[in-house]
Structure 1
Amino acid sequence: MRHQRGGNLPTVGVVGAGVIGSCVSLFLAQCGVRVHCVDRGRPGGLTTDASFARLSAYQQPTYRRFELSHAGIIEHAHFAGLFDSAPWWHPTGSLAWAGADGRCGVSTRSFVEEAERLRSWGYRVIWHDAAKVSRELEPAIPFSPAQTPVAHLTEEGWIDGPLMVSSVLDAAKSIGEVTLSNAGVQEIELRGRQVTALRLDDGERLEVDAVVNAAGPQAPAVAATLGSPMVSGIADRSSLVLDLAGDSDPLRHVLRGAELHARSAGPGRVRVRSEQVDAVLTGEAESDLGRDNVENLLDRAYRTIPALKAFTIERKRIGTAVFPADGLPSAGALSTVSGYYEAFANSGVILAPLIGRALATQITTGEIPSLLRDCSPDRLRVAA
């Protein structure tokens, strides 16, 4: 790593203790880097906690984005193998099917075309008729008609984001010098165009050799404190997520139904969302959590999984993601500021271990992994 102070260990400030920030911290610690991880909230308690957290490469509009997502899923399996146990990782597989119009969710491409395109790209897709799925794979779903084609996406699954963050940060602290600060970032300090410190909103100042901006929805605001704001190509997306609690575990797989996405969220818990409900959200959290949207989502849940009528709402949240509009992550070094790196993405849960390993490699060796060569933060600084 180039940015070192004397003979001491190099020090990196990681802004954000979500799923990406925690993975960056762990891989840096493995490389012998001192890490200050900073987050104004509980680690894994903000965007990571509200995410649907599905591991999937389905419905990606280009091969490039599919390639990254698929590599992210594969990386999760390798990452879980680094631990004696990985109770956050659930490689259950997914089941997907279309509605009467032949489409799944709000996609403009037909469901069969979408699934067959995935298979042509090397994704494992197994076709079943609904009668077999109800009989052998997912008895909780009353398909109609029984001949409905169902795609079994065997490589997919889901992640318990908060549990993953907690486990990963514990591992990072056990192998290296990793500290956690519960505060927001007021400013990234520079000397010339070199990162020198993080100034926190609680008055603390942390001297660092480099900074990784993994602040999720706050990443653009953190970048602005650097004096190099993101000026183009930023998008956002909101999703209404309900956690339902009951006395049973009705689901064995992640479901991507015509009008509902659902997965287990642990014993006696099910997490649900809907693309159709998300499409009418306004971006105002208070109104989006209103009765109409919640009842709309519940109606779709009950039609898809009748057993959920016996469940109660445990939590309801709006998850908001901010990400580069081209769908690729912003992952790597900003060329105009020495020691500043970004790590934020659409589908951050899927890409977190992949980005964490890649950034630790780039920071410590200067090598840019081939999968991230077109993901530079520089592209977000070009005025539209």
Structure 2
Amino acid sequence: MKTVGIVGAGVVGACVAFHLAQRGVHVHCVERARPGGLTTDVSFARLSAYQQSTYTRFELSHTGMFEHARLADRFDAAPWWHPTGGVAWSDGTGGRGASFAEEVDRLDAWGYRVVRADAARANREWEPGVVFPHSRVPVVRFPDEGWIDGPLLVAALIRAAEGSGYLTMWRGAVEDVEVRDGRVVALRLANQDRLAVDAVVNAAGPDTASVAATLGGLALTGTSTRSSLVVDLKTDGDPVRHVLRGAEAHVRSAGPGRVRVRSEQVDALLPAGPRSHAERDLVDNLVERAHRTLPALSSAVLDQARVGTATFPADGLPSVGALSALSGYYEAFANSGITLAPFIGRTLATQITTGEVHPLWSQCSPDRLRVAS
């Protein structure tokens, strides 16, 4: 493989580009915005295998978490990687509490590291500033969890790949994936630039379907989208030590003097369709939930509120690998993209250059997302 075109320079595309460049493959990476500046930047970016409904999905996420440590070891410093651990708790009610306990027991049985406590111990030892529903509510610490500064990771990967001499970045939109005799031969950009390639990786995130649509009868089916509101707050000091998965809000550090907040309940209220900003009442709702979870945030100042939209296969598994009906076309998009990105990058680069498919991708072929003819 001599030259590969990558559509998208979010965290998944950047990881693929880095690993291909490390293998001496020339890469053209096309991004319509700042690398890592769209979905990657708006993600809550938690490293976790929590709430995976099947063992296959759990194993992929768990593997992805440890792949981040492997990637960090390749750099002299990895300021994007924050293995803080995570803390989760139920809302203290019977129904939600029972499901929380079942989820934790399942993770424990699957080999996920779990430390159980009650709220009183959690306040003493882990998170003194959190308000739990009551002192005996079940609380769990997941030591291997953490969070990623997505844009910082993307910037480091692209800088390293460009420094190798094997990566060229292009700013613009892809208008067409050019195919000849059943094989990908070029990318055509909206400004009419033509990039000759031997293969293409569609890692365009929310634009994955529109890029795939240029293939005609091989357009994507069976995808879902999910929008999430994230709010960044400026704080005095650093009031949170772990990634918090509370009953009302999820809270994590976003660097010194900053925290990031989201809530499943608030996300459920978002209007359908892509958007970059949420209504003020939803922002206020989310901030109030954060205040109730961590009262120290009551003095925090709102920095920005944004809505990110992710596209992923509806069956919950990633789409990673080659499309059998078209030589040289690969896809890489997933739910929990930041957790999986380094693992996708390394293993997909291996597949592109050697043909070897990692066993964990056996159920993740892009073929399943096409209508059988």
Q: Answer whether TM exceeds 0.5 for this pair.
A: yes
What is the CA distance between 1:286 and its match in structure 2?
5.7
Q: How does 1:6-85 map to 2 (within 5 A)?
A: 10-85=2-77
1:295 pairs with one of 284, 288, 291: 284
**Matched residue type, 2:212:** A
- Does 2:248 align with 1:256? no
Residue identity (%): 61
Matched, 1:134 2:157: no
Distance 1:125 1:68 in 2: 18
1:317 matched to 2:306: yes
Out of 232, 236, 240, the position equivalent to 2:221 is: 232
C-alpha distance in 1, partners of 2:21/2:93? 51
TM-score between both structures, scaled by the size of structure 1:
0.94
Closer, same or farther: CA 131–165 of 1 in aligned 2, 3 Å: same
Q: State the distance in 2 between where 1:309 and 1:170 align.
A: 38
**Tell me, what secondary structure is at the counterpart of 2:206?**
helix
| Structure 1 residue aligned with 2:321 | 332
Q: CA RMSD in A?
A: 1.6
Output the amino acid matched with 1:63: Y
- The amino acid that maps onto 1:94 is G
Residues 382 and 285 of structure 1: CA distance in aligned 2, closer, same or farther (over 3 Å): closer
Q: Report how many residues are paired.
A: 373
Whether 1:116 and 2:105 are equivalent positions in the alignment is yes
Structure 1 position 101, deviation (Å): 2.1
1:98 aligns with 2:99: no
Q: 167-176 or 184-193: which moved more?
A: 167-176
Question: How many angstroms apart in 2 are the aligned matches of 1:209 and 1:38?
Answer: 15
1:123-162 to structure 2, matched below 5 A, reads 123-162=112-151
Q: Distance in 2 between matches of 1:344 and 1:84?
A: 29
Aligned to 1:212: 201
DSSP-derived class of the 1:151 partner: strand
Alpha-carbon separation, structure 2, partners of 1:256 and 1:100 = 14
Structure 2 unmatched runs, 5+: none
Whole-Å separation in 2 of the counterparts to 1:66 and 1:172: 30
**Match of 1:110, SS?**
helix
What is the deviation of 1:374? 1.3
Cross-structure match for 2:266 = 277
Q: Secondary structure at the match of 1:146?
A: coil
| Per-residue deviation, 1:299 | 1.4
What letter corresponds to residue 40 of structure 1 in structure 2? R
Structure 1 residues 91 and 298, CA gap change in structure 2 (3 angstroms): same
Q: Cα distance 1:281–1:194, how it changes in 2: closer, same or farther (>3 A)?
A: same
Contact 1:15 1:39 in 2 (8 A): yes
The ranges of structure 1 where at least 4 consecutive aligned residues each deviate by more than 3 angstroms after the TM superposition are: 228-231, 284-288
User: How far apart, CA to CA, are the structure 1 residues paired with 2:244 and 2:333?
Assistant: 26
SS at match of 2:343: helix
Q: 1:280 to 1:93 in 2, by over 3 A?
A: same
Q: Secondary structure at the match of 1:335?
A: coil
Structure 2 counterpart of 1:84, one-letter code: D
Among 212, 223, 231, which residue is 1:242 paired with? Answer: 231
> SS of the counterpart of 2:30?
strand
Residue 262 of structure 1 and its aligned partner are, at CA, apart by 0.7
| SS in structure 1 of the partner of residue 84 of structure 2 | coil
Distance 2:23 2:338 in 1: 22
Q: Which amino acid aligns with 2:336?
A: S
Q: Is the 8 A contact 2:47 2:145 kept in 1?
A: yes
Distance 1:231 1:177, change over 3 A: closer
